[in-house]
Amino acid sequence: MAVARRISRPHGATRAALSAAYNAAARLLLRTGVRDHQAGLKVIEGRVARSVVPLIRTDGFAFDAELIARVSRVGRIAEFPIEWRESRGEVPGRGSHVVPVRAALTMLADLLVISYVMVRGSATRPVRVGDVLDAEGRGSWRPR
């Protein structure tokens, strides 16, 4: 798997701090070695995707981190730098409807659950975390 690492991020201080904290927590809890768990560009072989994606339990902000963590257990991950630019029409720091504190708590909870499930070895069994909510207030974990 190849994972992009953003080398420039035209965002405000709050978003940059939250991103740095999230990536530090993901590295610590998931032991992936990856520096940027949420860059949108990832390249994955079809056979690896077919074996790993069905095991993923989260569909929230932590989806990328869980994908990377699961792939790192079965193969190598390479990082490559990219120059990050906002989509046309987006203004950095505007237009997002994410509540930073709620999103941060949800993402941390998701990382803790992913870490627990993977360390415990129950990666193929269902995880029920009814009180973990995504930024819109919905549960971010899918039962299997």
pLDDT in tens, 100-126: 778 888 888 999 999 988 877 654 444
Handedness of CA 113, 114, 117, 119 (dihedral sign): negative
Does the residue 143 lie in any domain? no
Q: Give the model's pLDDT for residue 75.
A: 86
CA distance linking residue 89 with residue 69, whole number of Å: 33
Does the residue 67 lie in any domain? yes
Range of the domain at 103: 2-84+97-120
Does the residue 115 lie in any domain? yes
Does the residue 125 lie in any domain? no
Q: Which residues of the chain have pLDDT under 70?
A: 9-11, 86-98, 121-144
Local structure of 3: helix, strand or coil: strand
User: Which residues are bridge partners to 83 per DSSP?
Assistant: 8
CA distance linking residue 12 with residue 115, whole number of Å: 29
Does the residue 136 lie in any domain? no
Task: Specify the pTM.
Answer: 0.73
Number of domains in the chain: 1
Does the residue 131 lie in any domain? no
Does the residue 128 lie in any domain? no
Does the residue 78 lie in any domain? yes
Q: Are 30 and 2 in contact (CB under 8 A)?
A: no
CA distance linking residue 141 with residue 144, whole number of Å: 10
